[in-house]
């Protein structure tokens, strides 16, 4: 078993590097289009722990969760293009919010229906899952730390997140063949897609090779901002009983708010040298630490967790399709709005490009907006779940 901290961190980094190297192999690209690298970043470290290669607990994991989370969040927030997101159009924003609302209310409704057959601390795992399903993995980790979700609960939650979440992604990809029929049935105005595509003609012309001074600035903003927000968060009082706004929550809220504020300053130009890509790298490293602490065998002890995920997604989907019929939104916005919540920036561009190849940037920007909504929506969902659970 690898226990020495540097060796353990090196093993996780090497495992992540191997995942992305394999994802770029021509013969494996179709597989990784269906199952993005984020799945393997979760499961391969879990498999390593199950095989006795890595421990279930280590100071390395604690450090990565405490500091890599705010580090990646602040880099993602600093590089957000909020004006571009506001130009997505009314239909896109409404469908994005409808998907978020479906997750926020779907979780408590699901717990109300199935809670009597589940362990008492299930609501904490569902709270963490709500973060993942409103924007992506950074929000899952943030909400997990906020409500104090036990690591023992995260095993089945990770299974639900990947199995149900990416199963739903497969359904959305399948429905792309039916978008013309749905749009005719809903009497959707497809001209909105063309308008959004013109407004979001994004390219990488501004991107340039990073120099040493650029990378130094990125690290300074990322780790400096993370350390400052963690230090301030440790000094702010927890709120709620059970605790919903913990020291970690304060730190995450500070990172999100400060990062968004900095996105309107010249620091946003750090994206020209790939600041957000470094943020994503920190995110995937963080996921390896989370995966290494999970026990997949836990799902066998509570197979109803998969039913929880399926019912939750069903509520989310019903609200999305109902909203689409009400406002006459094309199926493209249903699929992209859903995946921007459930999969975030990892999967939303993939789904968007399947429906309309030129509109992948719409999925990307909607996924980025999910990061913003995820912290606040996830905390609201966690509070509602705690009320249903009577915690």
Residue 181 lies in a domain: yes
Model confidence, pTM: 0.68
Give percent of the chain above pLDDT 70. Answer: 85
Summarize pLDDT for 83-94 with one digit per residue, the tens: 666 666 677 788
Q: In sequence order, what are the beta bridge partners of 239?
A: 245
Predicted pLDDT of residue 253 = 78
Q: Which two tokens stand for residue 309?
A: 């995920």
Q: Which three-class secondary structure string do you get for 324-342?
A: HHHHCCCHHHHHHHHHHHH
Predicted pLDDT of residue 103 = 94
Residue 46 lies in a domain: no
> Is a pLDDT exceeding 90 seen at residue 121?
no
| Model confidence band, residue 17 (pLDDT cutoffs 50, 70, 90) | very high
**Under 8 Å between Cβ of 119 and 141:** no
DSSP 66: I
The neighbour count for residue 363, using CB atoms within 10 Å, is 29
Cα 40 from Cα 29, distance rounded (Å): 14
Residue 65 lies in a domain: yes
How many Å is the Cα radius of gyration of the chain?
20
Residue 28 lies in a domain: no
- Between 45 and 200, residue with greater pLDDT: 45
The arithmetic mean of pLDDT across residues 150-166, rounded, is 80
Nearest to 99 by CA among 346, 336, 310, 320: 320
- Between 79 and 234, residue with greater pLDDT: 234
Mean pLDDT of the chain: 83
Residues 6+ apart with CB under 8 A from 330: 91, 179, 182, 183, 186, 188, 189, 190, 192, 193, 324
By mean pLDDT, which of 82-91, 122-131, 301-310 is the weakest? 82-91
Residue 334 lies in a domain: yes
> Is a pLDDT exceeding 60 seen at residue 199?
no
> Is a pLDDT exceeding 90 seen at residue 325?
yes
Give DSSP secondary structure letters for 169-211. Answer: HHHHHHHGGGHHHHHHHHT--THHHHHHHHHT---STT--PPP
The arithmetic mean of pLDDT across residues 21-50, rounded, is 83
DSSP 35: S
DSSP 359: G
By mean pLDDT, which of 63-67, 216-220, 238-242, 291-295 is the weakest? 238-242
| Model confidence band, residue 203 (pLDDT cutoffs 50, 70, 90) | very low
Geometric angle at alpha carbon 259, from 256 and 244, rounded to 5°: 15
Q: Which domain holds residue 256?
A: 57-201+210-389
The arithmetic mean of pLDDT across residues 123-149, rounded, is 83
State how many domains the chain has: 1
Residue 41 lies in a domain: no
> Is a pLDDT exceeding 90 seen at residue 110?
yes
Cα 267 from Cα 94, distance rounded (Å): 30
Query: Is the bond leading into 331 cis (omega within 30 degrees of zero)?
Result: no
Residue 21 lies in a domain: no
Cα 297 from Cα 230, distance rounded (Å): 34
Residue 167 lies in a domain: yes
- Between 257 and 358, residue with greater pLDDT: 257
By mean pLDDT, which of 30-34, 236-240, 343-347 is the weakest? 343-347
């Amino acid at each position: 078993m690898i226990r020495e901290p540097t060796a353990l961190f090196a093993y996780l980094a090497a495992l992540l590097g191997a995942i992305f190297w394999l994802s770029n192999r021509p013969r494996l690209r179709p597989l990784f289009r269906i199952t993005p690298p984020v799945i393997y970043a979760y499961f391969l470290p879990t498999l390593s722990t199950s095989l006795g290669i890595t421990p279930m607990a280590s100071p390395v994991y604690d450090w990565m969760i405490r500091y890599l989370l705010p580090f990646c969040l602040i880099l993602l927030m600093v590089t957000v293009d909020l004006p571009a997101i506001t130009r997505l159009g009314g239909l896109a924003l409404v469908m994005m919010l409808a998907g978020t609302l479906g997750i926020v209310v779907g979780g408590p409704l699901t717990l109300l229906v199935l809670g009597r057959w589940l362990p008492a601390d299930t609501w904490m795992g569902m709270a963490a899952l709500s973060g993942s399903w409103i924007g992506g993995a950074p929000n899952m980790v943030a909400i997990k730390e906020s409500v104090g979700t036990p690591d023992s609960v995260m095993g089945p939650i990770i299974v639900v997140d990947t199995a149900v979440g990416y199963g739903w992604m497969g359904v959305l990809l399948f429905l792309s063949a039916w978008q013309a029929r749905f749009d005719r049935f809903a009497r959707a105005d497809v001209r909105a897609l063309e308008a959004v595509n013109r407004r979001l003609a994004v390219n990488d012309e501004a991107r340039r090779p990073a120099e040493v001074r650029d990378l130094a600035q990125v690290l300074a903003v990322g780790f400096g901002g993370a350390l400052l927000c963690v230090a301030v968060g440790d000094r702010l009082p927890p709120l709620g009983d059970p605790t919903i706004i913990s020291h970690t929550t304060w730190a995450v809220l500070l990172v999100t708010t400060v990062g968004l504020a900095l996105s309107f300053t010249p620091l946003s130009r750090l994206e020209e040298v790939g600041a957000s890509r470094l943020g994503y790298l920190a995110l995937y490293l963080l996921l390896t630490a989370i995966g290494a602490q999970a026990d997949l065998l836990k799902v066998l002890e509570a197979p109803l967790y998969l039913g929880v995920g399926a019912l939750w997604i069903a509520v989310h989907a019903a609200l999305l399709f109902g909203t689409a019929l009400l406002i006459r939104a094309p199926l493209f916005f249903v699929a992209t709005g859903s995946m921007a919540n459930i999969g975030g920036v990892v999967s939303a561009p993939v789904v968007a490009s399947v429906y309309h190849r030129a509109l992948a940037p719409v999925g990307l920007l909607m996924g980025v907006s999910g990061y913003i909504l995820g912290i606040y929506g996830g905390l609201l969902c966690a509070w509602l779940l705690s009320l249903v659970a009577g915690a």
